[in-house]
Structure 1
């Protein structure tokens, strides 16, 4: 097994993060890795926002403002403090470009692959990451507050920093749980090694 395969087999999301955040040089390399995502027609249909310091508090305010009328004060406080769970958040943005051969959905998948590459590169550099989405990723007030243009969407909020405590291992499914061997129309059977 190659070192890359071993790294992928051991990858995990880390919810308990603290300072220090990755330095700019590390983030820059990780973003260069993100730009290596499969990209049909080289459209570069992504962009990123790096949020740290006081801007995390501003993001929390934006999250709190996005809470609905039915949400109580407790939900607003939880939303307000959510960005403070890490010293840095990188917001992935899918930014599809008009193209007759590359539909928006392919461009959004490319942007999501870039987020995955970004998270792997930060993990490889020794930092913890937690890719979050949830309702904030789709809320129009958040999209506007973060400066997204019409047609852009959030692929996720990548929380990153130094792992403060290891979490227990997550059980991984067997390939037989989610893979079938297809042999023709309406013909498939369980995957086996």
Structure 2
């Protein structure tokens, strides 16, 4: 990705559109945390600390948070509900992240959703200032697309018949 990123205004417009994802009882059980500039380093340091890595390995791991100019943490922030279980609220937060990534791509931005074992580590939760009960689902890495004719590696085709059944 290049060092260009959507402005706050551009980003908020896309978040507003992504917020229309299906949401049982309209609980809005999610939030996003933006990291721009030097604040991205705090995420990298937390990941390195959670991994237990030291020296060059820790530096390399910490540097991953600097791979895009805008890093957006996707957080499930569950609400009390008798009707909507946690898993469904987590699905809403995931849906917002997925829809946002599609909208960013359509708007011409490069975007990659990164997850991993450190999303649920105490060090990473602290760096994101998560409230009790909140969980980090991952990060959207957002930046400009390099000038090139193709969009990188082609996606592998999927045999849809493997995933669709009829009764």
TM-score by length of 1: 0.80
> Equivalent residue of 2:25, what SS?
helix
Aligned-CA RMSD value = 1.4
CA shift, 1:57, in A, is 1.8
1:175 corresponds, among 142, 150, 160, to 160
Q: Which has the larger radius of gyration?
A: 1
Q: Quick one: distance in 2 between partners of 1:120 and 1:38? A: 15
Q: Please list, as runs of the form range in 1=range in 2, the aligned pairs for 1:154-169 lying within 5 A after superposition.
A: 154-164=136-146, 166-169=151-154
TM-score by length of 2: 0.92
Q: Quick one: distance in 2 between partners of 1:180 and 1:80? A: 44
Provide Cα deviations, 1:90-137, integer angstroms capped at 9, x if missing partner. 111000101111111111100100001111111111101000001121
2:133 corresponds, among 151, 173, 188, to 151
**Number of paired residues?**
164
1:88 maps onto 2:70 in alignment: yes
1:141 maps onto 2:123 in alignment: yes
1:62 maps onto 2:59 in alignment: no
> Equivalent residue of 2:89, what SS?
helix
Indicate conservation of the 8 Å contact 2:42/2:127, yes or no.
Answer: no
Indicate conservation of the 8 Å contact 2:74/2:139, yes or no.
Answer: yes
